Amino acid sequence: MSACAEHRRFLVAIADGEAAAVPAGTLEHIRDCPDCAGELDLHRAAAVRLRQALQLPAAQPAPKRRAGRAGLAAGGAIAAALLAAAGIFALNVSRPDPVLAAARAGQQPPQFQSSDAGQIGTWCAEESGRPMPEMDLPPLRPVGARMDHQAGAGIVTVYYVSPDGRPLTIGWLDASVAPAGGRSVTSRLVDGRLVLVALSARGTAVISGQGPASLLWSTAAAVEESTAGN
Amino acid sequence: MTGPADARAYIRTVGITPDAGGSADLADQIAALQPRLFRFGLTLTRDQEDAADLAQETVARALAASWRFTPGTNLPAWVFRIMRNLHLNRVRDGRAGPKVESLDSVREVAFAETIDLSSVEKAAIERASLAAVREAFAKLPAKYALPIHLVTVEGLSYAETAGVLDVPIGTVMSRIYRGRRLLLAALGGLA
């Protein structure tokens, strides 16, 4: 049994297909040792079961707000920090999230359908009661819009289709709604998907869609470009 | 307007996407890692919100630093390393909870290496419910759970895992060995 002890730690390497890292003497020992061979089988079975258990998709919650957590880190006394943490947690839970609402609004069907960017812009301005940015973002093709009032914000969602047929939405939030951070564009996950939040002179644009990330980034660039002169 | 700038041009103005040297393809590949980053984040933080938060920031950091990625090397391993370093920084800054280990290191190592697994049946492991496996895995100390996750779930080699965790390959093997033995003991009803 003492001979087994010096060989056993290599069992996982064999089970994981890293046999090149295993001394030849260990391979010989395991071949002739029923105890070690039995444990090798256990490691293999555990690896398979673990892979099955952990590869199941996991639901992703919305990330915490960074500004609140950074503020917490700067706190001094433990008691104060705990109180602050409790307050921030309550804030996170109760505060409406307009970005989340905008990203989810884009998953609803449009209320107004048109392929004319001008008509869509007029409809959006009338429904929202505020001036709207340029709707024409070639090569994206506008196909419709909807208006929602959620999470304390007026959300104007404009629907587009990319040249290869991928749907994409831009949710325009009130100009007063701006994500923290100071960057012109931030990324976040909503329901497991990448969403870009672009600040522009005409408000905050929440860009989401089924296309590749590069399509979202190029759209964010187009949004910035189209509103730069406003 | 002449049309939307492409992602590469956008990189130069925003500073969060890959800058010169990066590519839209690489950005897509990094973004596509999010579910795997979240899963690894769960093993790192043991908290769903922290994991989602960490995954998001990791993608942003990886996009911003993508010019440093060496083509032909393992992209997930590179991004996992960014995530692990980010997590360590958060722990140091007090922005992530301290790791709670169930046993002190000496007792833990001794227990992991000396426990007799001869009474554990392979069939019992194969029949263990996935919930029981996840629960047993969640109880493993992080130093064992992390290399097991990277090798077993993500399919990284021992060398790649050593690179992500910044430890020697021998340490990776030892930790996987002890962690798997603790897991087998738990699933076999010995712990």
What confidence score (pLDDT) does residue B21 get?
42
What confidence score (pLDDT) does residue B146 get?
95
**In B, which residues are within 8 Å of A53 by CB distance?**
130-131, 133-134, 137
In this prediction, residue B111 has a pLDDT band, given cuts at 50, 70 and 90, of confident
Looking at the structure, do residues A119 and A87 belong to the same domain, yes or no?
no
**In A, which residues are within 8 Å of B31 by CB distance?**
194, 212-213
Looking at the structure, do residues A69 and A21 belong to the same domain, yes or no?
yes
Q: Give the helix/strand (H/E) hosting A200.
A: strand A193-200
- B2-12 pLDDT per residue, tens: 222 344 444 44
Q: How many CB atoms lie within 10 A of CB A227?
A: 17
Asked if the model's pLDDT at residue A25 lies above 80, the reply is: yes
Number of structural domains in chain A: 2
Taking the C-alpha atoms of residue B133 and residue A115, their distance in angstroms, rounded to an integer, is 53
What confidence score (pLDDT) does residue A64 get?
53
Amino acid A173 reads L
What confidence score (pLDDT) does residue A197 get?
84
8 Å CB contact of B180 and A226: no
Residue finishing a domain among A68, A94, A120: A94
Among the partner-chain residues B6, B9, B52, the one whose CB lies closest to the CB of A63 is: B52
8 Å CB contact of A63 and B133: no
Residues in chain B: 191
Looking at the structure, do residues A116 and A221 belong to the same domain, yes or no?
yes
Q: What is the mean pLDDT of chain A?
A: 75
Looking at the structure, do residues A125 and A47 belong to the same domain, yes or no?
no
Looking at the structure, do residues A213 and A110 belong to the same domain, yes or no?
yes
Asked if the model's pLDDT at residue A74 lies above 80, the reply is: no
Extents of the domains making up chain B: 4-94, 103-187
**In B, which residues are within 8 Å of A41 by CB distance?**
122
Q: How many CB atoms lie within 10 A of CB A191?
A: 14
For residue A37, tell me if it sits in a domain: yes
pLDDT, mean of residues A78-85:
32
- Give the C-alpha distances (Å, rounded to integers) separating A87 from A69, A73, A84, A92, B48: 11, 14, 5, 9, 20
pLDDT, mean of residues A183-206:
76
Q: Give the helix/strand (H/E) hosting A156.
A: strand A153-161
- A126-158 pLDDT per residue, tens: 888 877 888 888 889 999 999 988 777 789 999
Looking at the structure, do residues A117 and A199 belong to the same domain, yes or no?
yes
Cβ-Cβ contacts under 8 Å between A and B: the total is: 196
What confidence score (pLDDT) does residue B126 get?
87
Q: Among candidates A45, A43, A39, which has minimal Cα distance to A1?
A: A39
Residue finishing a domain among A60, A94, A128: A94
Residues A13, B158 contacting (CB under 8 angstroms) = yes
Among the partner-chain residues B17, B125, B152, the one whose CB lies closest to the CB of A51 is: B152
Residue finishing a domain among A94, A128, A163: A94
Looking at the structure, do residues A129 and A76 belong to the same domain, yes or no?
no
Residues A72, A81 contacting (CB under 8 angstroms) = yes
What confidence score (pLDDT) does residue A180 get?
46
For residue A212, tell me if it sits in a domain: yes
**Range with the poorest average pLDDT among A175-184, B119-128, B152-161, B172-181:** A175-184
Domain hosting residue A24, numbered range: 2-94
What confidence score (pLDDT) does residue B23 get?
58
**In A, which residues are within 8 Å of B4 by CB distance?**
137-140, 218-219, 221-222, 225
Residue A127, domain CATH: 3.40.1000
Looking at the structure, do residues A66 and A43 belong to the same domain, yes or no?
yes
Looking at the structure, do residues A113 and A44 belong to the same domain, yes or no?
no
- Which residue did the predictor score with more confidence, B2 or B93? B93
Question: Chain B interface, mutation test: which of A10, A12, A194, most B Cβ atoms within 10 Å?
Answer: A12
Looking at the structure, do residues A125 and A177 belong to the same domain, yes or no?
yes
What is the ipTM score, two decimals? 0.76
In this prediction, residue B182 has a pLDDT band, given cuts at 50, 70 and 90, of very high
Question: Quick check: pTM over 0.80?
Answer: no
Question: Chain A interface, mutation test: which of B36, B113, B121, B181, most A Cβ atoms within 10 Å?
Answer: B181
φ and ψ at residue A146, rounded to 5 degrees:
-150, 160
Instruction: Could you please state the CATH topology (level 3) that the domain comprising B103-187 is classified under.
Output: Arc Repressor Mutant, subunit A (1.10.10)
- A207-229 pLDDT per residue, tens: 998 777 778 877 887 787 776 65
Looking at the structure, do residues A178 and A84 belong to the same domain, yes or no?
no
In this prediction, residue A96 has a pLDDT band, given cuts at 50, 70 and 90, of low
For residue A230, tell me if it sits in a domain: no
- A106-123 pLDDT per residue, tens: 888 899 998 999 889 888
Looking at the structure, do residues A111 and A218 belong to the same domain, yes or no?
yes
Q: Is B77 helix (H, G, I), strand (E, B) or coil?
A: helix
CATH of B4-94, one of 1.10.1740.10, 3.40.1160.10, 1.10.10.10, 1.20.1250.20: 1.10.1740.10
For residue A178, tell me if it sits in a domain: yes
Question: Chain A interface, mutation test: which of B176, B182, B184, B190, most A Cβ atoms within 10 Å?
Answer: B176
**Which residues pair with residue A147 across a beta bridge?**
A156
Residue B28: closest CA among chain A residues belongs to which residue?
Answer: A213
Q: Among candidates B149, B183, B178, B153, which has minimal Cα distance to B165?
A: B149
Asked if the model's pLDDT at residue A89 lies above 80, the reply is: no
* DSSP at B18: -
**Percent with pLDDT over 90 in chain A:** 19
pLDDT, mean of residues A1-20:
84
